[in-house]
């Protein structure tokens, strides 16, 4: 039986592993390696518990430090694991340091790499995620892309072989777990049956800059509706460091699990985020998104006018765009669902069978 090693480390990767991992367990000798990149219990254990994902076979417990230190430590330890376990294929997801370290370790050992979620480009090389995804795509032997745009992005960079249009594996995750999302969840001070927004913010460009973080919080405080803000541990630390205390209508809550977040997104009226994954989840659930960034890899959401970037390329916040987006109408037909239908997981398994 062929041996497949999947590398995970961050919240979006746990979610993508959920529909795929079970299929790999059935048909291959499947080894799950968790780098440890997300280590907070609320952001790790809860995903495995509530989503029925089996515990990783190996946890490297590598977290914290700067990008170079973290990626380097992961590379060292992943190389040891791959030499020991000798996988026939290494599967990586998305664009985190875990993704890059996994692809580098495998490539240097001449183990083929499959990149799920390949071809995404924001064309902002200041973003660590953009650096990671470009490098990983050029190291990969097989690339699963969510839409035709990503296929064209790769073609521009000379990557045309072994590029597979599978659709987005997140569609499988969301369709499977939405019916199990926490229907009894409550947030003190908010009627979830009335209009509210969901806010997430963790990106270093927003949270490490005191002025930017303060300006964003002050702008969102002008929201005409309650704003539920599950606070990332990193953001919580920065808010305290800069002595920023978000006021009403922002309501801070602890980080939530995937099912709770799905429930909040599904009930919300609008999403404010600097997360790439949450932009896409909002799109799948037909919720307008206000993105606290100046670029996005999900270009289709911008073209369909259901996602608004409110930070310009000079790193200035455009408050007019913020209020215009909140007050705009978003008929459901605007959401064209450009990233495929359910079934990406099975397509990926079939591709793996053909390339091994």
Please report how many Cα atoms fall inside a 13 Å half-sphere around the Cα of residue 173, on the Cβ side.
Answer: 27
Eight-state DSSP code of residue 55? P
Q: Is 202 a catalytic residue?
A: yes
Q: Cα separation of 329 and 292, whole Å?
A: 20
| 261, two tokens | 């977040």
Helices (H), 52-111: 67-85, 97-108
Catalytic residue among 67, 176, 202, 313: 202
**Position of tokens 């664009």?**
95
The string of DSSP letters for 178-228 reads GGGS-TT--BTTB-TTS--EEEE---HHHHS-HHHHHHHHHHHTT-SS-EE
Structure tokens at 169: 């594996």
Nearest Cα residue to 153 out of 166, 168, 172, 138:
138
Distance CA 17, CA 285 (A): 20
Contacts of residues 58-61 at CB distance under 8 Å and 24 or more positions apart, as own/partner, are 58/31, 58/32, 58/33, 58/34, 59/33, 59/34, 60/33, 60/34, 60/35, 60/36, 61/36
With the C-alpha atoms ordered 214, 220, 226, 230, is the resulting torsion angle positive or negative?
A: negative
Tokens of 43: 């952001």
The interaxial angle of helices 344-355 and 11-27, nearest 10 deg, is 60
- The CB density around residue 241, as the number of other CB atoms within 10 Å, is 12
Residue 77 CA to residue 254 CA, distance in Å, equals 32
- Active-site amino acid positions: 202
């Amino acid at each position: 039986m062929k041996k497949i090693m999947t590398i995970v480390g961050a919240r979006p990767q746990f979610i993508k592993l959920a529909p795929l991992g079970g299929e790999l367990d059935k048909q291959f000798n499947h080894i799950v390696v968790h780098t440890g990149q997300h280590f907070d219990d609320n952001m790790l254990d809860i995903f495995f518990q509530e989503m029925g994902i089996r515990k990783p076979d190996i946890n490297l417990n590598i977290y914290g430090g700067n990008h170079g230190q973290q990626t380097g430590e992961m590379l060292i330890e992943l190389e040891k694991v791959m030499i020991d376990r000798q996988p026939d294929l290494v599967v990586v997801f998305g664009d985190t340091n875990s993704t890059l370290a996994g692809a580098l370790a495998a490539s240097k050992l001449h183990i083929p790499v499959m990149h799920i979620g390949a071809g995404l480009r924001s064309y902002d090389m200041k973003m660590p995620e953009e650096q990671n995804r470009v490098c990983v795509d050029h190291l990969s032997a097989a690339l699963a892309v969510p839409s035709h745009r990503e296929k064209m992005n790769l073609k521009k960079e000379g990557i045309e072989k072994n590029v597979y249009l599978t659709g987005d594996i997140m569609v499988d995750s969301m369709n499977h777990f939405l019916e199990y999302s926490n229907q009894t969840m409550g947030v003190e001070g908010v009627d979830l049956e009335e209009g509210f927004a969901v806010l997430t913010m963790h990106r270093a460009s927003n949270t490490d800059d005191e002025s930017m973080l303060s300006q964003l919080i002050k702008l969102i405080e002008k929201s005409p509706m309650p704003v539920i803000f599950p606070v990332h541990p990193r953001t919580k630390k920065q808010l305290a460091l800069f002595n920023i205390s978000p006021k009403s209508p922002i309501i801070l809550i602890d980080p939530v699990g995937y099912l709770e977040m799905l429930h909040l997104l599904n009930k919300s009226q609008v999403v404010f985020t600097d997360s790439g994954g949450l932009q896409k989840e909002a799109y799948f659930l037909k919720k307008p998104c206000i993105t606290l960034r100046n670029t996005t890899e999900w270009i289709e959401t911008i073209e369909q006018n259901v996602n608004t970037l409110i930070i310009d390329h000079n790193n200035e916040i455009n408050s007019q765009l913020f209020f215009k987006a909140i007050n705009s109408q978003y008929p459901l037909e605007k959401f064209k669902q450009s990233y495929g239908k359910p079934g990406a997981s099975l397509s990926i398994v079939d591709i793996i069978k053909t390339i091994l």
